[in-house]
Amino acid sequence: MGKTIAITGINSYFASTLLPRLEADSSIDKIIGIDFHPWKGGHNKVEFFKTDIRSDSIVDILKRVDAVYHFAYIVSEIKDKREAVDININGSRNIFEACVRNQVKKIIYASSATVYGANADNPVGIKEDHPLSMNKDSYYNTSKIKVEEFVVDFFRQYPNIVLTVLRTALLIGPNMDNMFSKLYSLPVIALSLGRTTYQHFIHEADLGEALYLSYIKDLPGIYNLGADDAIPARWAWKKAGVRVIPLPSSMLKWVANIGYQLGIFPASSGWASLSEYTVFPSSEKFKKASGWQPRYSSESAFLDYLNSRELDHPDNFIQSLLSWVFSSGPRIKPTMVVLNIFRLGKIPGLRNWIPWMDHKKNSMSYLPVNKSLTAENQALPSEVVHQYIDKSTIHVIMNKCGCRLAGNCQHHTADIGCLFMGETALNMPAGVSKRVTAEDAHKHVDRAISVGLIPMTGKVRVDNFIFLTPDESKLLSVCFCCHCCCMMTSLKHIPGDYLNGIMPPVEGLRIEVTDDCVGCGTCIETCGFDAIHIENGMAVHNSQCRGCGRCETNCPNQAIRITIDNPNIVDDVMRRINTYVNIQSPSNAIL
């Protein structure tokens, strides 16, 4: 029987460096993923639990687990510092105590090199026995030190547990998308006047290898982890295109606090304090114990990150504005008010004049992905998207789902954005999208479906409006929809008989409610179109139903059945959509 590994903070940047290695390890059968945010998906071995690490349920979740990686931590700053400290300290304690109760054999805890503190007398090449030092205005530094102190003292009582503590340098690489990437994207930054500091990094590939080695080898103890060099901070900011303004330390912290409160800066004075002096530990102890060698220097790791930021094409002014808006949920949210236009769909005659509701300019369908549809000689509706991917030479994926960012979705990740195909997709703002290969597009679709999102595809005229592109019938949209945030549920205001001409259910689909229904209402809660009500103790679907299949997936009594009586469903759906949109591309657009 294979091993079971648990990871707290499985959506974290740290976890993303490790997961591919655990997935490829044939000795590992299951990965228990724990996170407060919805699962990002993309890994087949993961069994996901959405919960707070302070929860009492952690004890049960960690039953029969062989090893635990503890990554869950508040790094990107939040305004409630008491909550951050409580999660970081008491959440960590809860994890470690649950490990002991479940007799977990190995624990790998990701600490931080910041535990040494930013001090003027820090030596170069700090060793693990160097005293820890608190920067009292830094919730992160103080929390990391307190957790380490608890860990070392607590596990002295359990010598049979292999505890590995890794004090890592700042993680960086092509996939960095956090507070630090926001800082490196600012037009201007302030640094302490009269001080020359250096930045110490670890590349994501090097960290992933070190984390994996910590599992396959027994490495009890505390280890520093980072590149063999450090780079001047001013050089790094300049290389990133950020203008540096020197300020006295006290003024710098005051500006950081004001900027953070106003939402201009992603970090306040605590992080400014940690940047005042160089923290550069030595990784020699870990190298000797594990055989690990970093492949990237701090400089090459940083340059690799910068290279990943290069856009497919430079944005013009309008595209730059769109990139700015669509990179932030709070900035997107006010724009969603425009969707109230769909309320006019209740008015006969008027809806015919609105392009977003014009039968001649829209045809889209949900493609249900229910397991019950799997049958011999019956293709799943999602095959429509895969066939379009194979036919198209242009595939553009949005970095985030704007709807879920704006709605702060608690059910599904915002990290899975729309997929666009066709020549017009090349006009998407490059700051929030990327052109990908057909292979990557296929993987994106599979990942979306694996986390419970439902593809909706077709000609969606409102997308031309949102991204300010002309409607030339050369944009195929593939939205991965949730029931709570997706803008397409705004179409529920349009009567069902008219809506059938814009968003018909896939050809041949039928939904049946059986006598097993007890009228619990779960299906109502997960229907984005208000298409279900309870009548005589049973669920009843009305004409607003678009056939997404979510009701069947979520029914606790398996009382809803969805079937498709159409062996030609893929051809029929594509034939209809092809009359609205042409994804054939000019020869010079081939990737």
In a domain, 351, yes or no: yes
Percent of all residues in the chain with a pLDDT value above 90, rounded to a whole number: 79
Does this model's pTM top 0.85? My answer is: yes
Residue 503's region, left for phi above 0, alpha for psi from -120 to 50, else beta, is: beta
In a domain, 515, yes or no: no
What's the total number of domains in the chain?
2
The whole-number average pLDDT for the span 456-462 is: 96
Write the DSSP symbol of residue 537.
T
Residue-level pLDDT at 274: 87
Contact 145, 111 (CB under 8 A): no
Looking at the fold, whether 326 and 406 belong to one and the same domain comes out as: yes
pLDDT over 70 at 230, yes or no: yes
Confidence of residue 82 (pLDDT cuts 50, 70, 90): confident
- The CATH number of whichever domain residue 278 belongs to comes to 3.40.50.720
Looking at the fold, whether 260 and 362 belong to one and the same domain comes out as: no
Looking at the fold, whether 321 and 304 belong to one and the same domain comes out as: no
Tell me the two tokens of residue 456.
């909706």
CA angle 231, 182, 312 (to 5 degrees): 90
Q: What is the mean pLDDT of the chain?
A: 92
Residue-level pLDDT at 377: 53
Looking at the fold, whether 239 and 178 belong to one and the same domain comes out as: yes
Looking at the fold, whether 332 and 363 belong to one and the same domain comes out as: yes
User: From CA 109, how far away is CA 106, in angstroms rounded?
Assistant: 10
Looking at the fold, whether 294 and 403 belong to one and the same domain comes out as: no
- Domain with 55, as residue range(s), is 3-308
Residue-wise pLDDT for 174-222, tens only, equals 999 988 898 898 899 888 888 889 999 999 999 999 999 999 999 999 9
pLDDT over 60 at 339, yes or no: yes
Residue-level pLDDT at 591: 43
In a domain, 249, yes or no: yes
Residue-wise pLDDT for 107-118, tens only, equals 999 999 999 999
pLDDT over 80 at 491, yes or no: yes
Higher pLDDT, 380 or 555: 555
The whole-number average pLDDT for the span 489-502 is: 93
Looking at the fold, whether 238 and 118 belong to one and the same domain comes out as: yes
User: From CA 35, how far away is CA 98, in angstroms rounded?
Assistant: 16
Write the DSSP symbol of residue 435.
E
Looking at the fold, whether 248 and 332 belong to one and the same domain comes out as: no
Domain boundary among 308, 331, 358: 308
Residue-wise pLDDT for 129-168, tens only, equals 999 999 988 888 989 999 999 998 999 999 999 999 999 9
- Sign of the torsion formed by the C-alpha atoms of 156, 73, 109 and 280: negative
Residue-level pLDDT at 122: 94
Residue 547's region, left for phi above 0, alpha for psi from -120 to 50, else beta, is: left
Residue-level pLDDT at 194: 85
Looking at the fold, whether 476 and 450 belong to one and the same domain comes out as: yes
Looking at the fold, whether 227 and 371 belong to one and the same domain comes out as: no
In a domain, 127, yes or no: yes
Residue-level pLDDT at 78: 75
pLDDT over 90 at 539, yes or no: yes
Domain boundary among 308, 342, 371: 308
Highest mean pLDDT among 155-159, 225-229, 373-377: 225-229
User: From CA 507, how far away is CA 505, in angstroms rounded?
Assistant: 6
CA angle 223, 229, 233 (to 5 degrees): 110
Domain boundary among 288, 308, 328: 308
Looking at the fold, whether 356 and 222 belong to one and the same domain comes out as: no
In a domain, 234, yes or no: yes
User: From CA 183, how far away is CA 266, in angstroms rounded?
Assistant: 7
Residue-level pLDDT at 193: 86
In a domain, 393, yes or no: yes
The whole-number average pLDDT for the span 355-371 is: 91
Percent of all residues in the chain with a pLDDT value above 70, rounded to a whole number: 98
In a domain, 513, yes or no: no
The whole-number average pLDDT for the span 89-100 is: 94
Looking at the fold, whether 274 and 374 belong to one and the same domain comes out as: no
In a domain, 344, yes or no: yes
Indicate the helix (H) or strand (E) that contains 151. Answer: helix 139-154
